[in-house]
Structure 1
Amino acid sequence: MSDTDAPDVLVLRRGTHGMPIEQYADAIRDRLPDHTVELARTPADEREAIRDARFVAGMTLEDDLLEAAENLEVFACAYAGTGHLPLEKLEERGITVTNASGVHGPNIGEHVLGSILYFTRRFHVGARRQRRREWRHYQAHELQDSTVTVVGLGAIGQSVCERLEPFGVETIGARYSPEKGGPTDEVVGLEGEAFDDALARTDYLVLACPLTETTRGLIDREALVTMDPDSVLVNIARGPVVDTDALVAELRSNGIRGAALDVTDPEPLPEDHPLWTFDNVQITPHNAGHTPKYYERLADIVAENRRRFDDGDDANLENQVLP
C-alpha cells in the first residue's frame, strides 16, 4: 500500500463490550462521508494497513504494531484510560494520542446512581426474601439529606454529581487539585485532615478517579476505619484504588454497610475469593462502561479530531493526552 492509498482513518480489529467492531467503523463512516475509513479485520491486515496510515483508531496498540506504523501521527484510543498503551514510545516518536474521556459519563453515572439506590432501599434484602417467597418487612434507608463523596471530578465524576442533584444530598468532591473546584458543595484534596474529615462524614463514597501513584491504595485500612459503619463504598474507578484485604476485613467486622464493586483487585475476581460470599457486596464484571451508544459517542470524537487534523490543527485535538 502506498501512502496515497492509505485510509484517512484506520480502525483496528479489537472491539469492546462484546459489540462488533464493524459498528464502530460504520459510525465513523457516517460522520465522515468524504473520507476513507478502513477496518483491519485480521492481524495481517493490521500490519499491512498501519504501515502507511497516519490516523488510527483502536482499543490497544501493541509494540509490534507500533513498530510497523511508519507514518503514524495520531492514535485515537477508544478507552478513557491510556495506561495500557506504550506511552513512552509514542511520546518519543511525537505521536499524538487522544482518549475516550466523556464517552462513559451517562452510563457510568446511571450505574453509580443505581448502586447507591440499591443499598439505600436495600433491594438486595428484598431480592433475597423474594427468592425465599418470604413476605416479611425490612427496614430501609433514605438517600435525601445523605452525604455523598465523589473521588475524582473528571467527566465521570461530574456525570455522577449531575445525577445526584435532584436527590437532595450534600456532595463532597475530592480531587488531586482541589483549587480547581468542582460541581459539589465542597471540594477537598486527596490527602490530609480535610480528606479524612470528608470520609468521616460520608454516607456513600464513590470512587471515580484514575489509577495513579496518589490513588493506588487510597482507600486503605485507615480510610475504611475512618468511614462510618453505616457507609457504603461504590468503586467504578480501578480495583487497586481500594486495599482489597482491608475491605474484606471491614466487611467481616461490619466496619461499613456494604460495597458496590464494578472493579476489583485482582481482576477478574477469582471464583474462590471471599468477596463473592458477602450478601452486602454487589459485584458487576467491569460492566459499568457498557452502553449501546459507546461506538456512536466514540465516533463523534474521532470524526471531529479527523476534521481538525485535516485543517492542520492536530496540536489541539479533543481529549488529547499526548503530547
Structure 2
Amino acid sequence: MSDADTPDVLVLRKGTHGTPIEQYADAIRERLPDHTVELARTPAEESEAIRDARFVTGMTLEDDLLAAAETLEVFACAYAGTGHLPLAELEERGVAVTNASGVHGPNIGEHVLGAILSFTRRFHVGARRQRRREWRHYKAHELQGSTVTVVGLGAIGQSVCDRLEPFGVDTIGVRYSPEKGGPTDEVVGFEGDAFDDALARTDYLVLACPLTETTRGLIDREAFVTMDPESVLVNIARGPVVETDALVEALRSNWIRGASLDVTDPEPLPEEHPLWTFENVQITPHNAGHTPRYYDRLADIVAENRRRVDESETDTDLENQVLP
C-alpha cells in the first residue's frame, strides 16, 4: 500500500454493545472531514490495511495483527480497560496507546443511581406485588441522609458522585492515594482500619474500581460481616472484586439487604447459579456500559488525538494515554 493509499485512521472490524462498527467509523469521519478514515470490514482487509497504518483504533488488537503492523505509532483502544491488549509488545515497539476512559461516565452513573433508588424505594417488591395483582403496602427507605461509599474515584466514580450530589447523602471515596482527596465528603485508602470503618458506616457500597491485585476479592466474607445488615452492594466494576461465595452467604444470612450486580464471577453467570434465585438481587448482563452515544464520545477522543499527532513533529501527549 502506498503512502497515498494509507488511511489517516484505520478502524478495525470488531464492534461493541451490538452497535454496527460502521457508526463508529462514520462518527470519526464527521469529526475529521479532511482526513481519510478506513474501516477494515474483514480479516483480510485488516491484515492488509494495518501493514502501513500509523494510527489504528479498535476494541482489540490480536497478536497476528500487531505482528503485521509495520509502522504502527498509535493504537486508540475503544474500551476503557486495556488489560486484554498485548501491552508489553506495544510498549517494546514504542506504540502510544490510549483508552476510552470517561466515555461510560454518564450512562454508568445513571445506572448506579437507578440501582440505588430502586433499592431505596424497593421497586422490586412493588413489581413482584404488581405481577400478583396484590394491592398491599410495603415499607420503603429514604436516600437522603444515607452514606454512600464509592470505591474507585476515576471517571466513573466521579460521575456517580456528581449524580448523588442533589440527594443529600454523605459520601466516602476509596482510592489508592487518599491524600489526593476527591469529590466525596471524605476519602480513605484500601488499607487499614479506615476502609473497615467506612464499610461499617455504609448504606450503599458502589464498586467502580479496576480489577487489580489490591481489589481482587476486596469484598470478602469479613467485609460482608462488617457491613450493616441494611446496606446494599452495587457492583459495576468487575465480578472478581467480590468473592461470589461470600456474597451468596451474605444474602442467605441477611448480612446485607441486597445487591445490584452488573458484573459477576463467573461471567456470564451460569443458569443454575443461586444468585439468579434471590428476590433481593438485581442482575443486569454487564449492560451498564451501554449507551447510544458510545461511539460519538469515543470518536471525540480519537479525533482530538489524531489532530494532536498532526500538529506535533515530535512526541506528543495524547488524551487518555496509557502507554508509553
Task: For 2:95 and 2:220, locate their aligned partners in 1 and report how far apart those are by CA, in whole Å.
Answer: 37
- Secondary structure, aligned partner of 2:282: strand
Residues 100-139 of structure 1 correspond to what in structure 2 (within 5 A)? 100-139=100-139
- Secondary structure, aligned partner of 1:206: strand
Residues 145-224 of structure 1 correspond to what in structure 2 (within 5 A)? 145-224=145-224
What's the counterpart of residue 10 of structure 2?
Answer: 10
Aligned-pair CA distance for 1:154: 0.3
Task: For 1:131 and 1:266, locate their aligned partners in 2 and report how far apart those are by CA, in whole Å.
Answer: 30
The CA deviation string for residues 272-300 of structure 1, in whole angstroms up to 9 with x for no partner, is 11100000000000000000000000000
Aligned-pair CA distance for 1:4: 3.4
Which amino acid in the other structure matches residue 143 of structure 2? L
What's the counterpart of residue 71 of structure 1?
Answer: 71
What's the counterpart of residue 319 of structure 2?
Answer: 318
Task: For 1:270 and 1:177, locate their aligned partners in 2 and report how far apart those are by CA, in whole Å.
Answer: 37
The CA deviation string for residues 46-86 of structure 1, in whole angstroms up to 9 with x for no partner, is 00000000000100001111000110000000010001111
What's the counterpart of residue 50 of structure 2?
Answer: 50
1:258 aligns with 2:258: yes
Aligned-pair CA distance for 1:224: 1.0
Task: For 1:2 and 1:268, locate their aligned partners in 2 and report how far apart those are by CA, in whole Å.
Answer: 44
Q: Which runs of 5+ in 1 are unaligned?
A: none
What's the counterpart of residue 32 of structure 1?
Answer: 32
Task: For 2:205 and 2:247, locate their aligned partners in 1 and report how far apart those are by CA, in whole Å.
Answer: 13
Which amino acid in the other structure matches residue 182 of structure 2? G
What's the counterpart of residue 272 of structure 1?
Answer: 272
Task: For 1:290 and 1:314, locate their aligned partners in 2 and report how far apart those are by CA, in whole Å.
Answer: 34
The count of aligned residue pairs is 323
Which amino acid in the other structure matches residue 237 of structure 1? A
TM-score (structure 1 length as normaliser)? 0.99
Task: For 1:143 and 1:130, locate their aligned partners in 2 and report how far apart those are by CA, in whole Å.
Answer: 23
Aligned-pair CA distance for 1:5: 1.6
User: Cα–Cα, structure 1 residues 269 and 314, in superposed 2: closer, same or farther, change >3 Å?
Assistant: farther
Residues 240-259 of structure 1 correspond to what in structure 2 (within 5 A)? 240-259=240-259
Task: For 1:285 and 1:73, locate their aligned partners in 2 and report how far apart those are by CA, in whole Å.
Answer: 35
What's the counterpart of residue 289 of structure 1?
Answer: 289
- Secondary structure, aligned partner of 1:196: helix
Which amino acid in the other structure matches residue 83 of structure 1? G
The CA deviation string for residues 11-42 of structure 1, in whole angstroms up to 9 with x for no partner, is 00000000000000000000000000000000
**More displaced stretch, 219-228 vs 298-307:** 219-228
Aligned-pair CA distance for 1:314: 4.6
User: Cα–Cα, structure 1 residues 314 and 21, in superposed 2: closer, same or farther, change >3 Å?
Assistant: farther
Aligned-pair CA distance for 1:3: 3.3
What's the counterpart of residue 89 of structure 2?
Answer: 89
Aligned-pair CA distance for 1:191: 1.5
Aligned-pair CA distance for 1:225: 0.8
| Contact map agreement 1:3 1:53 (CA 8 A) in 2 | no
Aligned-pair CA distance for 1:321: 0.3
- Secondary structure, aligned partner of 2:38: strand
Q: Which runs of 5+ in 2 are unaligned?
A: none
Aligned-pair CA distance for 1:2: 2.1
Superposition RMSD in Å: 0.7
Which amino acid in the other structure matches residue 244 of structure 2? T
| Contact map agreement 1:32 1:303 (CA 8 A) in 2 | yes
Moved segments of 4+, more than 6 Å:
none
Sequence identity of aligned pairs in percent?
88
The CA deviation string for residues 229-261 of structure 1, in whole angstroms up to 9 with x for no partner, is 100000000001000010000001111000000
| Contact map agreement 1:77 1:98 (CA 8 A) in 2 | yes
| Contact map agreement 1:308 1:314 (CA 8 A) in 2 | no
